Chain A
């Protein structure tokens, strides 16, 4: 594989950049693989990469219905954080933060990781107390957290509404300075390029139409491009999880919902951090191009449409304007939607299943993008060793029946309760 470097950039400039190698190949499916990963999104690509890199398993195929990076890894708001209170989420995400910090070097691909800090705003004394508690829990798990008072918040984001007569006055906030953003497409492409170079077959435009299961063991998959034998199969398909689960006669604690995001027209640099509204569900950051990147709640009903409705967008942006009034002066450039695998407790599932050789990675809710490296790493471990790693031991499928829920926010599919 050609290394991306300043020297190669100069060298290729002499041939007008016509002679770069393809970043990944377009192979036809082989008859058999050791591991088949279904889903060529961030998590699937990362899983294949760590299978090859950490476990030396390279007879791997990624089966993608559309094109790689065309789902949620290309549709998110690029936020990376580990500001969780519960140990399972905190330790898992902080492990991921380490991978994020090394990712550009590791993948030889600039993912533009920008640790600009995230601020969760508080709008009451009770919320300040809750943030102090969460911040302390984070620090006990080795995650950086700073509790800011109103004046400190005002210094960082003076454009927020600090006037006296607002419905939700800003009391302060909880900041994780090491959190940030990254270039989402680059994450998919970087993992794809490295996985491909280590021998992983990335097979696009190939839809899984069935599974070959006998005597409680997986033997392979049936696809639109023929049958593929596989010793192990990993499901990494986010919003399409229920569709594939149905083919396996499995019913999961997951519903597929619609989540929207939007960007404004580009403006001059105004916001250095990621900021979230504490009296509702709204978050904003500014992209390198200058657009304000915004998102919030689910549309609230089961959907596979990848296309949202205006009432939710209006609701979300109303919160945004309550927090930062200047946003009302901006024109909306684009809105889009993606379909989320919403688990019932708001936390993900990375586990084995009752079918031998079939592994499940789903339930990422609002937080799939930032989990990409840690999810891929732990899922690769779970598949390669046929046992969960301690980092994803809490993300078990049976926690719903045993009562070991990880209800970080008490928010799953049921947004109408919040």
Chain B
């Protein structure tokens, strides 16, 4: 069982959360020319890192907020959680 510290609600079990994928992926800027390659990278291509991975989760059975979680994909250890709009150093 993973325990995720929701920055809004505190420590909760993974049952309350839904996974949202790599949080480092940035949508191409609006009102700018976007190449096929850029769209490709945004929609499909993923690094899928082994080790420290910044990812999105949604506290779907809680506050329903999207949050960012820094987690190790090899050990499942969770290092830190952030609010969705919080900048991650």
Contact = CB atoms under 8 A, between A and B. Distances in A.
A301 B55 contact: yes
Interface in A279-333: 300-305, 309-311
Among A251, A252, A302, the one with the most B-chain Cβ atoms within 10 Å of its Cβ is: A302
B79 interface: no
Interface residues of A, number: 24
Interface in B54-84: 55, 71, 73-76
Contact of B73 (A304, A310, A400): A304
Interface stretch (A39-47, A226-234, A253-261): A253-261
Contacts of B22: 255, 302
Contacts of A302: 21-22, 48-49, 53, 55, 73
A165 interface: no
B14 to A, nearest CB: 6
A242 B48 contact: yes
A309 B19 CA distance: 14
A253 B1 contact: no
B contact patch SS:
mixed
Contact of B76 (A243, A305, A310, A400): A305
Interface residues of B, number: 29
Interface in B1-26: 1-2, 13-15, 18-22
Determine chain A's interface SS by DSSP, over half rule: mixed
Given A242-B47, A246-B47, A401 B2 contact: no
A311 B21 contact: no
A251 B45 contact: yes
A42 to B, nearest CB: 22
Given A302-B22, A302-B53, A304-B73, A252 B15 contact: no
Given A242-B46, A255-B22, A400-B44, 17 more contacts: A242-B48, A254-B48, A300-B18, A301-B19, A302-B21, A302-B49, A302-B53, A303-B76, A304-B50, A305-B73, A309-B1, A311-B1, A311-B13, A311-B15, A344-B44, A414-B21, A416-B18
14 contacts: A242-B46, A242-B50, A251-B41, A251-B46, A254-B48, A255-B21, A301-B55, A302-B22, A303-B73, A305-B73, A311-B13, A400-B44, A416-B18, A416-B19
